[in-house]
Chain A
Amino acid sequence: MNVRERKMKARTIILAFVLLALSSLILPALDEDKAPLNIISVEKNSSLEKKLRSMDLDLLFEWEGRIFILARDPDLLALDKLNFPYTYENHRFPPLHQDRFYAQTNLNGAYHSYKELETDLQALERFYPQLARIFTIGTTLENRKIYALKISANVSQDENEPEVLFLGCHHAREWISVEVPFLLAKHLLENYAFNADVRRIVNQSEIWIVPMLNPDGLEYSIHYYRYWRKNRRLNADGSYGVDINRNYGYAWGYDDNGSSPEPAADVYRGSAPFSEPETRAIRDFVQQKHFRAMITYHSYSQVILYPWGYTKTPPPNEPLLNGIAASMSQLMNPVNGRTYGYGESGASLYLTNGDATDWIFSASGMPAYTVELPPVDQLQGGFFNTETDIGPIFNENLPAALYLIDWSIQNFRRALRRPQEREAKAPINKMARSSKKR
């Protein structure tokens, strides 16, 4: 090897070394801890379990005869080598925006903006395809979609089950009213596999959740003016907004106390009943379905209200409405110690005409409630809630929502039984009648 060849060889070695060094900088290290995590399940039987326990796997829990395991790719390879049958269960554990409580890069903090809600609803649908499906029930003036999430076993089918409706965000500034129905959806889906009560009510009902009825107003509330209430209708006089909870068709414009004819007013009822795309969306949606009960979430006051809102005259069936409200209030109190008052809307809080609860009650007779979420008054925050209070407020509202769904299921069954009972009696009557004819 001459001098030149030696130099060439030395250069080659140095070059190779430099390239190696550079590649170690450029290429990411394949750290085992960074390998993707999977959740799998295997059938629980004694022989397999023995093998499994010897493999040093991260066993999570047992449920319905299967063992759930946290597994990385090398673990899966090991199971494959042993011909160990397993099922991927990742879809049961969706990565929602859990980090939002900590990141807080956005103006709305832990509360949902329209796009964030859209993303989270899509995530729920994606991870629970058998249980959740998104429907668009309308489009707003600013071309945002009004989403309804249906939750039910066999979600793609329209089954003969009681339907229950939960609405949020009629009023833009009531940010907490988006979170409670959304978290209800999340709770039902995430606990379906593990909680027998949740599974039962999801199996036996069709739960419809419309968490953000007024996305246009909400976006204005986030970006420009926190206390914005109405939608974003440009009125004839140049003012903006219709109070969509004064725009429904029952007792619309009954008087000027429960709503206002003035376009600039916060409680402007609009130019006509159902003049707004948001209320039309709810009207058409409700008319297509056969809802058995409904809650529309608002804030603030910490009360449960039932019809009527437009008058202080008691509604038909008040004992039933009052009884359900009382039960819900009793279930809510122990969770955080907050007491939710209850009563007829017009008599308990203030007069409202053209609101959702009155219209739905008048159209179907179903129990329909406005739940005014905490705080109790302006000095405690008014339309503001701390981000850390979202969870507690939802938690105390959860038993009430579950109770209402369960009540709908029981009521539906009773209603089914009645015609059967009538049919069972009918032949005797017919026979009796025919014998008389004879």
Chain B
Amino acid sequence: MAKPSLLASLLSILAVLSVFPVDASAQLVLGQYEEEAPLRTWNLFGFQTAPSLGRGDTAFTVPGDGSAALANPALLLDLPRFTVTLNATSLFSSLHKFSIVNTGVLSTNANPSLGLNALDFGGLTYQFKGWALALTVALMEIYDRPSTRYEASYNKVLYYTLDFSQKGLLRNTNLSLARRLGRRLQIGVGLNLVRGELKTDLVETYQEDGITISDHKSQEFSGFYLNGGIIARFTDKWAAALVFRSPYTRKSPSKSQLEYAAAAGDTDIRITASSSDAYKQPLVIGAGVSYKFNSNFQLVSDLSFFNWSAYKIEYFGEAMERNFKDTLKWGLGAEYAVHLRIFKADGIVPLRIGAVYDSQPMKKPDSAYAYFSAGTGFHWKKIALDIGGSFGREKGSGNSLEARRISLSLCLEL
């Protein structure tokens, strides 16, 4: 009787997760960021919980936790029979140009930055007689920008204010199924539903004249896509995987209102627009390989190809030019397991390091992030607690953008 109630409570957590708000402690903004650009990097595929984050974003061949459903669902068969995974992340990104910041209206002396904390992944996995099933919810993309306020005073009297804010996110709900095909081959496929939103607000006030100029835009996102993967273990040491994410159209009903209000002149001028827009997301394919030197030490590498040249967006009825190039993301990681015996039970402390090269799709500036990562954890009995972090710096734009991320994940075997 205990299990159903535990399951019910875990499902409740998942349900809560799906509407969990992001805690955005904004500082300021920066970047070559288009409005729809995810914070940190365009190249988001799979989901990096603490174990894969510490290992250079590698997740195609190594089963870590329930996040395998998003990277390579075939790996779900390597997890314990019934698991639940939760992941929390703290991330920090610096940006240079975005919206009105450093593009002509407001300028900053240094890169603005944004810090965010979020409970960003929850998942359940279950396997039975060569089949595995997973249900996960992940906060895949964040579109927040540092909130910005500008004030102008004359003789200590405030006469002008300008406020800019942008908030947005994309949640991914995944249902995956995996099947063992013989002793060395596993295959998995996932159905994904994405939903999200993006809101941008720009408000100017001229205090003395009582004039307010406001520009509000909002978009909602929804779409379906498939992901899948296959893993082959050629020997006890070598494993290789192929993964994919199908291209898909993210539908986006969009609304906009531009308003000029001057009460003293009895003036209220509005231009409103609504549109059914679409973001054609690119195909992603990836390959991974791992080599186990022994039962304690392994090297892993993942390579992902993002077909950004096929990326197309329609924004308020207008085809926007992004003119992106295809990109590659390459991760390399190592993991060493230290065995311990605590309270008469075996425990493992994994030690992980990794590096990532992450080229960005914009042709101008041609830029890429280089990340270094590390992580560790404590696996004892049926509990796996992991922590991972990465530090990245961008080269190419001349702005030396930074991106840092720390994740804490908990995987319970039930």
Contacts and interface: CB of A to CB of B under 8 A. Distances in A.
Interface stretch (A21-29, A99-107, A147-155, A192-200): A99-107
Interface string B168-205: 00000000000000000000000000000000001010
B258 interface: yes
Contacts of B258: 107, 109, 226
Contacts of A377: 265
B103 A378 contact: no
Residue among A104, A105, A113, A386 with the most chain B CB within 10 A?
A: A105
A61 interface: no
Interface stretch (A30-38, A238-246, A391-399): A238-246
Contacts of A386: 269
B265 A380 contact: yes
A57 to B, nearest CB: 38
Interface string A235-279: 000111100000000000000000000001000000000000000
A109 B271 contact: yes
A242 to B, nearest CB: 11
A103 B274 CA distance: 9
B143 to A, nearest CB: 16
A407 B267 CA distance: 37
Contact of A228 (B105, B206, B211): B105
Given A115-B318, A384-B269, A241 B260 contact: no
A238 B399 CA distance: 12
Contacts of A264: 107
From DSSP, what is the main secondary structure of chain B's interface residues?
Answer: strand
A407 to B, nearest CB: 34
Contact of B316 (A106, A232, A380, A381): A106
Contacts of B213: 226-227, 384
B209 A379 contact: yes
Contact of B260 (A115, A224, A381): A381
Interface string B249-265: 00000001010101011
A105 B104 contact: no
Interface string A412-435: 000000000000000000000000
Nearest to A113: B318
B104 A379 contact: no
A322 interface: no
Interface string B312-336: 0000111000000000000000000
A377 B267 CA distance: 11
B104 A107 contact: no
A382 B206 CA distance: 12
B96 to A, nearest CB: 10
A381 B317 CA distance: 26
A225 B202 contact: yes
Nearest to B99: A224
B414 interface: no
B41 interface: no
Contacts of B262: 378-381
Contacts of B383: none
Contact of A109 (B99, B100, B264, B273): B273
A393 to B, nearest CB: 13
Interface residues of B, number: 31
Interface string A184-228: 000000000000000000000000000000000000100011111
A108 interface: yes
Contacts of B271: 104, 107-109, 387
Contacts of A379: 209, 211, 262, 264-265, 267
A219 to B, nearest CB: 10
Nearest to A114: B318
B367 interface: no
Contacts of B317: 103, 105-106
Residue among A109, A225, A226, A381 with the most chain B CB within 10 A?
A: A225
Nearest to B274: A105
A106 B211 contact: no
Interface string B100-123: 101111010000000000000000
B206 to A, nearest CB: 8
B267 A380 contact: yes
B105 A104 contact: no
Contact of A241 (B104, B211, B264, B269): B104
Contacts of B316: 105-107
Nearest to B257: A107
A385 interface: yes
Given A105-B316, A106-B316, A384-B260, A225 B100 contact: yes
B269 A225 contact: no
A378 B209 contact: yes
Nearest to A386: B269
A378 B206 CA distance: 11
Contacts of B275: 105-106
B78 interface: no
A225 B273 contact: no
Contacts of A384: 213, 260, 269
B273 A224 contact: no
A224 B107 contact: no
Contacts of B273: 104-107, 109
A378 B211 contact: yes
A403 B157 CA distance: 48
B189 to A, nearest CB: 32
A224 B267 contact: no
Contacts of A385: 269
A227 B214 CA distance: 11
A377 B202 CA distance: 23
Given A105-B275, A382-B260, A220 B265 contact: no
Contact of A104 (B100, B267, B269, B272): B272
B184 to A, nearest CB: 48
B216 to A, nearest CB: 11
Nearest to A175: B271
B103 A224 contact: yes
B413 interface: no
A220 B104 contact: yes
B389 to A, nearest CB: 33
Contacts of B99: 224
Interface of A: 103-109, 113, 115, 220, 224-228, 230, 232, 238-241, 264, 377-382, 384-387
18 contacts: A103-B317, A104-B272, A105-B274, A107-B258, A115-B318, A220-B103, A224-B100, A225-B202, A227-B204, A228-B104, A240-B103, A378-B211, A378-B262, A379-B264, A379-B265, A381-B260, A381-B265, A382-B260
Given A224-B99, A225-B100, A226-B213, 16 more contacts: A104-B271, A106-B318, A220-B104, A227-B204, A227-B213, A228-B104, A378-B206, A378-B209, A378-B265, A379-B262, A379-B267, A380-B267, A381-B260, A381-B262, A381-B267, A382-B211
